[in-house]
Amino acid sequence: MNDRWWSPWQPDEHYRYWPGSIPLLVSLPHDGREIPAAIADAMTPAARHSPDTDWQVAHLYDFARAIGAHLLRPRWSRYVVDLNRPPDGAALYPGRRETGLCPTQMFEGGPVYAGETPDASEVAARVDRYWRPYHEALRRTLTAMCALHGSVLLWEGHSIRSRCSMFFDGRLPDYNLGTAEGQSCSPAVRMALVAALAQAGVSHVVDGRFKGGYITRHYGQPQRGVHAVQMEMAQDSYLDEADPERWNPRRAEPAQRVLERLLVAALAAL
């Protein structure tokens, strides 16, 4: 474990960015857990714990910094505002169940708020205060990386409980690669990742239930040099889902080896 992830936040900080040296940006938009007090006061006790966090993904991708990746992680919980949703709140998967820009329901079905839910003006205020800074950092970093390297890989690191009936039946495969049906990255990058997953011998699916959220779809513009993919991990592939706040390096190590293999393969295909 690297303590740099957990150093205290400054009062005005919304995200942390660690610069790298290779054309790889790892973005962790659902890693944040904090909830401002004024917002938390309106939430249910269960929601204040932010149970739908992408648990431990900062630790999971810690190895990427060692190989030279840039890394961006947020401070705030997805319950404050979901950084992987469009700012107008449009659905990512029309006709299917999903949480919104400012979620009002937890994955397990309980309410996020004890009383009234955020109205349109409150949602707009949260977009301005909490959503835009992360996306400004994404744009700024990708622009600088493209100017330096020409082509870059934007890797969206996500995770979810292996069983979550709100979104899918049964157990999720361990590795869920999303490329917006091949639109957010080049065919070469997609094929390299598919081959690496097959060679690793792990349970996986490509563009299945998770095809890539707003960030992958919006920033993935391979014709302009940005190749974006989303990796949604089943959490029990790298941690104990009964105790997700406890980081176990030995349990996570096999998953980290697979992820490193994937990142190396995708970078080679740029």
Domain extent, residue 93, equals: 13-269
Is 37's pLDDT higher than 50?
yes
Residue 178: phi and psi, rounded to 5, are -120, 125
For 230-250, the pLDDT digits (tens) are 999 999 999 999 999 999 999
Answer whether residue 228 is part of any domain. yes
Residue 158 is predicted with a pLDDT of 98
Answer whether residue 3 is part of any domain. no
Answer whether residue 6 is part of any domain. no
Answer whether residue 186 is part of any domain. yes
Alpha carbon 136 to its chain's center = 16
Is 2's pLDDT higher than 80?
no
Residue 231: which of 50, 119, 102, 265 has the closest Cα?
A: 265
Residue 230: which of 259, 270, 196 has the closest Cα?
A: 259
Least confident of 53-57, 89-93, 114-118: 89-93
Answer whether residue 2 is part of any domain. no
Residue 182: which of 173, 171, 174, 190 has the closest Cα?
A: 190
Q: How many domains does the chain have?
A: 1
Answer whether residue 4 is part of any domain. no
Residue 3 is predicted with a pLDDT of 53
Q: What is the CATH number of the domain that holds 137?
A: 3.40.630.40
Q: In what order do the strands lie in the sheet with 24-27?
A: 15-18, 70-74, 24-27, 152-160, 226-234, 175-178, 204-206
Answer whether residue 86 is part of any domain. yes
Task: Decide: pTM greater than 0.85.
Answer: yes
Answer whether residue 33 is part of any domain. yes
